[in-house]
């Protein structure tokens, strides 16, 4: 029996291998926000729908992230699905040290004090129900309490290490 070409270049698991494999996986782009002394937020490609009843979502956040201390204590978080024209917004919330809620960011205080971003495809305000340790991250599970799916437009996608749009 001969080895499959796909198996011929296997490597031992490592952080680099995981990153290389997931560069091949296209993911939607979201920004997670929370209110603290100052609002915090970060770009996430780990957003998932967990259950419909009750309506649960999950995402991962690094414990070394500047947003983690606020997310660790927040009762509610905002979930924003970005549109294909919001690459710069995604980059701003992904960049360490960026002024994420500065004058160039369209946002307002929303329900439960959650910072809500303007111009997004859709958004949710969610109540945090669990924070589960997972290596150097925490998996946050939250229940949607309200939202708006009517922003319109096509979603932003992350693939091969960059933001991109869906093709027709």
Whole-number Å distance between alpha carbons of 152 and 122: 8
pLDDT in tens, 95-136: 998 999 999 999 999 999 999 999 999 999 999 999 999 999
pLDDT, position 163: 93
Residue 57: pLDDT band (50, 70, 90) is very high
Model-wide pTM > 0.85: yes
Residue 62: pLDDT band (50, 70, 90) is very high
Whole-number Å distance between alpha carbons of 9 and 89: 37
pLDDT, position 7: 60
CATH architecture of residue range(s) 29-159: Roll (2.30)
- Best CA proximity match to 94, nearest among 10, 146, 25, 162: 162
Residue 5: pLDDT band (50, 70, 90) is low
- Best CA proximity match to 59, nearest among 93, 22, 94, 32: 32
The mean predicted confidence, pLDDT, of the chain is: 93
């Amino acid at each position: 029996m001969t080895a499959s070409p796909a198996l011929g270049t296997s490597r031992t698991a490592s952080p680099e291998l995981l990153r290389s494999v997931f560069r091949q996986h296209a993911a939607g782009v979201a920004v997670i926000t929370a209110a603290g002394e100052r609002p915090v937020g970060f770009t996430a490609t780990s957003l998932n729908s967990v259950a419909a009843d009750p309506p649960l979502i999950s995402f991962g956040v690094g414990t070394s992230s500047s947003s983690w201390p606020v997310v660790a204590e927040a009762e509610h978080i905002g979930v924003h699905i970005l549109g294909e024209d919001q690459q710069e917004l995604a980059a701003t919330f992904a960049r360490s040290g960026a002024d994420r809620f500065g004058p160039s960011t369209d946002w307002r205080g929303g329900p439960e004090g959650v910072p809500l971003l303007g111009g997004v495809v859709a958004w949710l305000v969610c109540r945090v129900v669990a924070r589960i340790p997972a290596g150097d991250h925490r998996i946050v599970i939250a229940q949607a309490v309200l939202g708006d799916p009517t922003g319109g437009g096509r979603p932003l996608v992350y693939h091969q290490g960059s933001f991109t749009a869906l093709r027709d």
